[in-house]
Amino acid sequence: MLEIVQVQEDIDDIGGLEHLKTWLIRKGKIFHHLDHAIKAGVDLPKGLLLVGMPGCGKSLAAKATGKLFDVPLLRLDIGKLFGKYVGESEENMRKALKTAEAVSPCVLWVDEIEKAFSGIGDSGSGNSITTRLFGKFLTWMQEKDSTVFVVATANDISTLPAEFLRKGRFDDLFSVDLPNREERQKILEIHLKKRGKYHLNIDTIQLAKATDGFSGADLESVVKEVIENVYIEGRQLVTTKDLLMVMNQTKSISASLKEKIEQIRKSMEKVDIKPASIQESSS
């Protein structure tokens, strides 16, 4: 039910999402000096909800939060809480939350939380169990006084019950959209540097312009494929031309999931939610 995630990623591995990173750094300062912050009257950080496009850094941000706060990162799989006996699912939820509290201070990551709690309010025994689990989780989040920082991620906010989005559950809600041009440039540089293939002759400005509608995962996939191609061809240097050629052959998420992306954007417009990214400059 609970998995300890070994984290290598840090906040510098996130290309863009500057509003979110600034917010996390502020919360990290509190986590690094908890006793002092509590004595100063600062409330314990509760957590955040990240909503938006798949493959655009939500999971990476959750992992980086554990590294930034310098605490264990636990991943809660709500799907594994469900048992076949009466009351077993609720008891599993209680044990999971108690375990997280025992490990605290820690970050508790609940990935794709909308899938876990979909169907709330519908009829049927399975859904009634889901509703009870949802209620137990909400009550715990509202009343907890432990240093368990919850990072919940969701692709589609429209399937989440309204109670989940009320003030007091999370410290803040952030929306994650497809990366803008400046963010795509940073993401490409991060992945090339990570693999030791970045050099100044690579025109990341041109590449960023050529990848409108690409997700961070799309860009990483391009870099991986190009480096593999270069290796098989017996070359050392990755060129702008190499990258452009693979980009032209890649179907971006905005093309393959066009209707889903429009749906996600419309659902985010209906909620008071902060953008994780700084607005793209007009230059």
Q: Is residue 117 over pLDDT 80?
A: no
User: 3-class DSSP state for residue 114?
Assistant: helix
| Per-residue pLDDT tens digits for 148-207 | 999 999 988 887 877 788 777 899 999 999 999 999 999 999 999 999 999 999 999 999
State which amino acid sits at residue 38: I
How many beta carbons lie within 10 A of that of residue 53, not counting itself? Answer: 24
Instruction: Report yes or no: 67 and 35 within 8 Å, Cβ to Cβ.
Output: no
Question: Which residues, at least 6 apart from 75, have a Cβ–Cβ distance to it below 8 Å?
Answer: 2, 3, 4, 5, 109, 110, 111
DSSP 10: -
pLDDT of residue 125: 41
The model's pLDDT over 248-267, given as tens digits with 9 standing for 90+, comes to 999 999 999 999 999 999 88
Domains belonging to the chain, first-starting first, are 2-176 (3.40.50.300), 181-250 (1.10.8.60)
The percentage of the chain sitting over the pLDDT mark of 70, rounded to a whole number, equals 95
